[in-house]
Amino acid sequence: MIHKILFYFLSILIKSYLTLIELLPYLIVGTLIGESLKYIKLHRLVGRLCSSNRLLSTLIAAVMGIVSPLCTVGTVPIVIRLVYLGMPSTVFIVFLIASSMMNPQLFIMTWGGIDKEIAIARVLTILAFVLLMGLVLRIIPEKYVLNKNKLEEFMKLSHEEAKVNVSFKWKQYFINILKSLEYVGFYVVIGIVVSAAIEVLIPGDAMNKLYGQHKLVQIIIMSFLSIPFYTCGGGVIPIVNAMISGGMSHGVALAFLNVGAATRITVLATMASIVRPLFLFIYILVLITFSIGIGYLYV
């Protein structure tokens, strides 16, 4: 019994080490790029690029949201600036949704930790989803979308609290890199260990039963499982990679990643502070339906 436990422990340790060595360069490069992009004044750039054309504005806001390296909570000051600039609700809500689902670091880690096909597919499906949400926002009257009282509270923040960008300083830049690596790295290591444990401990028959079901059933199950289990974007990469290695299709993986990224507690809590509960419910419903549909069609 002891020998068996020791064998499992060593197997998990070796697999975790090999996965970490493989994923570490992407984590470091992604962090370096992400920290560099934080010094770009995104709120001004979005405001300058967005035109009167609603579709073009929505697309630009979606792209800038994906490019933004800030966490979901960190986008709130940018949203406030966009409100000050007089941007329509479509622009800043789309920016918030896109930035919560993808950032440069996560894209690079998905590329290296899973494969480039999934990384590109994530970006394209996120763009399609936020454009769909832009259409939904045009249909629903703004009074049913925005929580004006909460927005006014945010807009009363002091200048220092609302400040997003600071002047570049090498010392602070490297300190931020180390903090980011510490935070993301913690979840990545947990994800690596969990993925190794899945490969070592879960029998192949059990995985085959799940992946042997109808594709639509797989997508629905994994989409809903992603809601409680998706904590950190970087941390979930090795887990998804392990499940793909076990037989999970790319369509199922895509649905899992998209639903999980957009329904994390931090994302929903941030959105709940800006939008009304009815719109939040519509957002989740559209997200899950869209992700299941895209996952089913994706080959």
Domain boundaries, the chain: 2-297
Residue 288 confidence (pLDDT)? 93
**Of 266, 243, 268, nearest to 254 (Cα)?**
243
Return d(Cα 194, Cα 188) in angstroms, integer.
10
10 Å CB burial of residue 281 (0-12, 13-18, 19+) is: exposed
Q: With a cut of 70, which residues of the chain have pLDDT below it? A: 1, 30, 33-54, 70-86, 148-168, 183-184, 187, 191, 198-199, 202-213, 231-233, 299
Tokens of 203: 């029998």
In terms of phi and psi (left: phi > 0; alpha: psi -120 to 50; beta: otherwise), the region of 247 is left
Query: Phi first, then psi: what are they for 198, rounded to 5°?
Result: -60, -45
Closest CA to 87 of 57, 108, 110: 57
Judging by beta carbons within 10 Å of its beta carbon (0-12, 13-18, 19+), is residue 106 exposed, middle or buried? buried
Predicted pLDDT at 225: 82
Q: What's the pLDDT at 48?
A: 64
**Distance, CA of 264 to CA of 172 (rounded, Å):** 29
What does the alpha-carbon distance between residue 93 and residue 142 come to, in Å, rounded to a whole number? 11
Q: Three-state SS across 92-149?
A: HHHHHHHHHHCCHHHHHHHHHHCCHHHHHHHHHHHHHHHHHHHHHHHHCCHHHCECHH
| Mutual angle of helices 215-229 and 250-262, in 10-degree steps | 30
Q: Which two tokens stand for residue 9?
A: 């422990």
- Total-model pTM: 0.78
SS3 184: helix
Amino acid at 231: T
Q: Which residue has the tokens 């494969």?
A: 115
Neighbours of 129 (CB within 10 A): 22
d(CA 223, CA 51): 35
